[in-house]
Amino acid sequence: MRARYSSFSHTSNAAAYRAAYYSKAHRAALHAAAAPAGPDHGHRGSVPPGLGAPTAQHLGPMSREGLRPGGALELAAAIRSASALPDGGALGRCLHGLAVKAGRVASSAAVAKAAMDMYGRSGSLADARLLFDEMARPDAVCWNILITACSRGGRFEDALGLFRSMLACGAAQSMPTAVTVAVIVPGCARSRHLQAGSSVHGYVVKTGLESDTLCGNALVSMYAKFGGSRAMDDAHRAFSSICCKDVVSWNSIIAGYIENGLFQDALVLFGQMISQGYLPNYSTVANILPVCSFTEFGRYYGKEVHGFVVRLGLEMDISVCNALMIHYSKVFEMKALESVFASMDVRDIVTWNTVIAGYVMNGYHSRALDLFQGLLSTGIAPDSVSFISLLTACAQLRDVRAGIGVHGYIFRRPVLLQETSLMNALVTFYSQCDRFDDAFRAFTDILNKDLISWNAILSACANSEQHTEEFFRLLGEMCHQWDSVTVLNVIRMSAFCGIKRVREAHGWSLRVGYTGETSVANAILDAYVKCGCSQDASIFFRNHAVRNTVTDNIMISCYMKNNCIEDAEVIFNHMAEKDLTSWNLMIQLYAQNDMDDQAFSLFNHLQSEGLKPDIVSITSILEACIHLCSVQLVRQCHAYRLRASLEDIHLEGALLDAYSKCGNITNAYSIFQVSPKKDLVTFTAMIGCYAMHGMAEQAVELFSKMLKLDIRPDHVVLTTLLSACSHAGLVDAGIKIFKSIRDIHRVQPTAEHYACMVDLLARSGRLQDAYTFALDMPPDTVNANAWGSLLGACRVHGEVEIGQLAADQLFSMEAENIGNYIIMSNIYAADEKWDGVENVRKLMKSKDMKKPAGCSWIEVDKTRHLFIASDVKHQDRSCIYNMLGSLYQQIQDTQTQNMTTMQSM
């Protein structure tokens, strides 16, 4: 088996072997045909154009020795041998000339047939036809040779005409045979001439050739190539009519079903083939394995085929092993793939490419890089396919250094630079690594740019709005016809340019008919959403007939951004198919609108549908847990994250923040401690946790550790740190941090930073400094939070004058915020300025403002109990009020006892 594989795999050795074999055959045939000179019988046939008598240069020693051609069969064998050589046409012509000169053509059909076949193979159809026309009574073999020559030369109409002439001839010896049918039928398929193929099939049925294996196989293949349910019915009838089916018959019908997407039927036929005792060969395995990848029970079927391969001894065939590995990579069976790979004694470049691509396809990018190093150690030179997979892995790992190394390797080998697909992959790699300049340089190095090349560089531009001008310049230079990918890039870039450009792209797509493609329609809808044009998005969504799950998800996200809960619910409830993104969007919508019960209900429903929550699901439901201040629910989310191995730095930060806001700083710090990769998000969450619990010193200390790790702060962590200093009264530390925002960290102070500084000064009692600071804030940073902090501090410190000034600012900025009016009223009341209290109340009454009812809740035994002022609807209200009454009575009794004791003293 290995010897057989070796002769087939090394094509150059096989070619050399054939050349040597045929050279020996030619020499033997020529010497056998050479005979002593005899009487010349004359020339009874015409010499084809360009055909002269062989010279000494052509025939070499045979001519110089004065030998003359002998037996016709030997000469025919020499001509056939010459026609098998890659450049044997000239030698074949010389031998034919020798035959004509010796007068053997007219007297020997064997020589004439050999010459006809030789001319047909070399493309000299006119010469072949000339010989055919000179034959007095051509038999079926002669007709077949000429029909084969026409079919091989792509002249199907001529071949079909010869077939009709063959039928019209009527001679028994010239009637079409099974070979004729096997030659003419593939031509019908290639030329898409179904009517002609059906006519040939009719002849086959009338002459009883339908049971012939050769005819049946050809008809099955022809109908399969035409495709369609009717054609496949005809193919199956032709297959059923074959009396003695062989493995080719089964392979033809199975391949036909596969080509027409009838995968389940193909698997059924494969089972019948096995049950009837036919042994699959390499072609069977190569046909059926890809089908297994597309079926529901693909893994099971694939292992069955693998079992047949082992039982039949095909596991040593390198092509079969490669096909098995391709299948296992598609069904995510990487252990089985590795097992096949390890069992192979001989591997070629296809083997290595298959395994590397399998790792990349299944997300094992680091293993793909390691395996590529193994390929290099074998001495087998990687090809363009190897580097395409390698670049994909580098892009996913963001390993720019390795990708640049691949680029250098390609640059040093001009042959690889000519591979357009490889250069396209290089452009895509740099694009995914956000290195536009390198992507553009790789694009300019492409020698033969195709449509994919242009789409790749346009995609690189569309990744950022910084390259808008470059995008439209390249679009103008693009000489290829646009496809849907080009249109998608145009729409993506248009979203950066504003609603006007999006509407232009929409109009153009509508005119050229691209909006009928779901991907383009979804891109247009997404562009409207990104531009904030919910009305345009809604109109487009309602008027567009082509929808899928992605379309509905985009529209739900639009409604989520605008808090249109009812509209989102309508779409969600009417979705034919919901994916995990659909559920996550609705959970997030409910959570951000304080609809916690609905969020948890949907979260549980998601799991009952057989879906598994992912990182987005847990992050969204954590927001609802925070609203309920439920440590128990946060712990459940934490436990699920550990069980599901959801490793994500942002989810860690969300859990840490949730524990912090629910009052459990111990668990929050534990998450921070065990985090293997602490980034800005993690530090920000932990600093915020310290800030929330009044541990400002620890927050400042942690911030210093963050800076030592060269993690650059952003405005969020700086705001959190200032808030911590404010709540802890660390005025000097807060002022120092505020000054460092611009001077050291090179961050532009935001409105939140200024509000924190006002709060810091006001809380410490420096109300005048806080008021001055608030007045000096830049216009673009003035906000209600700063004045609200100052007003609250004035209430604490009993400062009426500054409080009134702060209230005036707030009344103009937040005219409908009742909280500001209540605080100012309390400030007046604390200073016994009842006129001021009355004025504020009149102002509230004129605006029809009412103070919202107080609300509180508590979690007992995993159940949340909600209490609202003046609400008597709680189910346990009787027990609660009885208990409160009992506690109140105990307090009164205790006070009475204390008073009695004091009086007795």
Burial letters for 322-348: b for 16+ Cβ neighbours within 10 Å, e otherwise?
Answer: bbbbbbbbbbebbebbbebbeebeebe
Please report the pLDDT score of residue 854 as a whole number: 66
Element (H, E) at 35: strand 34-35
Q: Which residues contact 314 (CB under 8 A, 6 or more apart)?
A: 281, 282, 285, 308, 320
pLDDT at residue 621 is higher than 90: yes
**How many angstroms separate the CA atoms of 636 and 640, rounded?**
6
Among 186, 182, 180, 153, which Cα is nearest to 164's? 180
Q: b/e for 690-700, b at 16 or more Cβ within 10 A?
A: bbbbebbebbb
166 — pLDDT class (breaks 50, 70, 90):
confident
Q: What is the pLDDT of residue 229?
A: 76
Q: Are 407 and 426 in contact (CB under 8 A)?
A: yes
CA–CA distances in Å: residue 374 to residues 377, 379, 380, 418, 589: 5, 9, 10, 26, 49
Alpha-carbon gap, residue 658 to 672, rounded angstroms:
13
Say how far residue 433 (Cα) sits from the centre of its chain: 17
Does 109 or 353 have the greater pLDDT score? 353
Please name which of 696, 669, 667 lies closest in space to residue 682, comparing C-alpha atoms: 669
Q: Let me know: does 713 contact 747? Beta carbons within 8 Å.
A: yes
The most distant pair of C-alpha atoms in the chain lies apart, rounded to whole Å, by: 165
pLDDT at 849: 59
3-class SS of residue 561? helix
Q: Which of 283-287, 558-562, 706-710 is predicted least confidently?
A: 283-287
448 burial type by CB count under 10 A (0-12 exposed, 13-18 middle, 19+ buried)? exposed
Q: Is the pLDDT of residue 199 over 90?
A: no
According to DSSP, the residues that pair with 855 across neighbouring strands are 868
pLDDT band, residue 902 (cuts 50/70/90): low
Helices (H), 103-228: 109-121, 125-134, 140-152, 156-169, 178-190, 194-207, 213-226
pLDDT in tens, 661-673: 888 888 999 988 8
Residue identified by tokens 């680091």 is 366
Pull the structure tokens for residue 34.
């050479």
Instruction: Tell how strand 855-860 and strand 863-868 pair up.
Output: antiparallel
Question: With contact defined as beta carbons under 8 Å apart, do 90 and 59 qualify?
Answer: no
Tokens of 444: 């300019």
Q: What average pLDDT does the chain have?
A: 81
313: left (phi over 0), alpha (psi -120 to 50) or beta: left
Residue 200 contacts residue 210 (beta carbons within 8 Å): no
Between these two residues, 543 and 599, which has the higher pLDDT value? 599
pLDDT average, residue stretch 523-534: 89
pLDDT over 80 (residue 327):
yes
Helix, coil or strand: residue 34: strand
Q: How far apart are CA 871 and CA 295, in angstroms?
A: 60
Cα separation, 762 vs 767, whole angstroms: 5
For residues 840 and 821, the answer to whether their CB atoms sit within 8 Å is yes
446 contacts 440 by C-beta, under 8 angstroms: no
Give the range among 290-299, 339-348, 528-537, 600-609 with minimum mean pLDDT: 290-299
Token pair for residue 633? 């629910």
408-450, pLDDT tens digit by residue? 988 888 889 899 999 999 999 999 999 999 999 999 999 999 9
- Give the whole-angstrom CA distance, residue 292 versus residue 806: 74
721 is written with which tokens? 């740190």
pLDDT of residue 482: 84
* pLDDT at 443 (0 to 100): 94
Q: Name the residue among 832, 769, 830 with its Cα closest to residue 798.
A: 830
Q: Is the pLDDT of residue 390 over 90?
A: yes
What is the full DSSP assignment across 336-360? Answer: HHHHHHHH-SS--HHHHHHHHHHHH
Residues 688 and 659: beta-carbon distance below 8 Å: no
Instruction: Give the pLDDT band of residue 38 (cuts 50, 70, 90).
Output: very low
Per-residue model confidence as pLDDT tens digits over 474-519:
988 888 888 888 889 989 888 888 888 888 888 888 887 888 888 8
Q: Residues 115, 104: contact at Cβ < 8 Å?
A: no
Cβ atoms of 171 and 177 within 8 Å: the answer is: no
- Mean pLDDT is highest, among 74-88, 147-161, 605-619, for 605-619
Q: Which of 67, 61, 3, 71 is nearest to 33 (CA)?
A: 71
Mean per-residue pLDDT for 235-247? 87
Helix (H) or strand (E) holding 859: strand 855-860
Query: Which residue type is seen at 569?
Result: E
294 falls in which pLDDT band (50, 70, 90)?
confident
Between 400-411 and 420-432, two packed helices, what is the crossing angle to 10 degrees? 160
Other C-beta atoms closer than 10 Å to the C-beta of 627 total 15
SS3 865: strand
Q: Are 289 and 333 in contact (CB under 8 A)?
A: no
| pLDDT at residue 783, rounded to an integer | 82
Vertex 92 angle, CA 91 and 93, to 5°: 90
Helix axes 565-573, 549-561, angle to 10 degrees: 170
Q: What are the tens digits of pLDDT across the range 779-834? A: 887 888 888 888 888 888 888 888 888 888 888 787 777 777 788 888 878 777 88
Residue 780 contacts residue 768 (beta carbons within 8 Å): no
**For residues 733 and 782, what is the distance between their CA atoms, to the nearest angstrom?**
23
- Does residue 4 have a pLDDT over 90? no
CB 329 within 8 A of CB 350: no
Q: What DSSP letter does each residue of 60-94 carry, written as one string?
A: THHHHTT-EE--HHHHHHHHHHHHHSTT-HHHHHH
Q: Name the nearest CA neighbour of 658 among 627, 684, 680.
A: 627
Give the C-alpha distances (Å, rounded to integers) separating 789 from 754, 755, 775, 806, 828: 11, 8, 14, 9, 17
Tell me the per-residue pLDDT of 549-595, one tens digit each, with 9 for 90 and over: 999 999 999 999 888 999 999 999 999 899 999 999 999 999 999 89
508-534 mean pLDDT: 86
- Name the amino acid, one letter, at 174: S
pLDDT score at 17: 31
pLDDT > 60? residue 161: yes
Residue 229: alpha-carbon gap to chain centroid: 31
pLDDT score of 762: 87
CA distance 819 to 850: 10
Average pLDDT of the segment spanning 42-66 = 39
Mean pLDDT value across residues 514-543: 88
> Which pLDDT score, from 0 to 100, does residue 861 have?
64
- Give pLDDT, residue 317: 84
Per-residue confidence at 298, pLDDT binned at 50, 70, 90?
low
Percent pLDDT > 70 in the chain is 87
Residue where the block lists tokens 């052509």:
58
- Asked if 34 contacts 70 with a C-beta cutoff of 8 angstroms, the reply is yes
Q: How far apart are CA 130 and CA 93, in angstroms?
A: 14
In the three-class reduction of DSSP (H, G, I as helix; E, B as strand; rest coil), residue 129 is classed as helix
Asked whether residue 273 carries a pLDDT value surpassing 60, the answer given is yes
Q: Please say whether the dihedral angle defined by the alpha carbons of residues 55, 60, 66 and 68, taken in this order, is positive or negative.
A: negative
Residue 16: per-residue pLDDT:
34
Highest mean pLDDT among 308-322, 441-455, 516-530, 709-723: 441-455
* Contact (CB, 8 A) for 47 and 54: no
Mean pLDDT of 175-203: 80
Distance CA 837, CA 803 (A): 13
Q: How confident is the model at residue 47 (pLDDT cuts 50, 70, 90)?
A: very low
Q: Evaluate whether 337 touches 369 at the Cβ level (below 8 Å).
A: no
Model confidence pLDDT, tens digit, residues 22-32: 344 444 443 43
* Burial call 634-654: b when 16+ CB within 10 Å, e when fewer: bbebbebbeeeebeeeebbbb
Average pLDDT over residues 699-714: 89
* pLDDT value for 870: 65
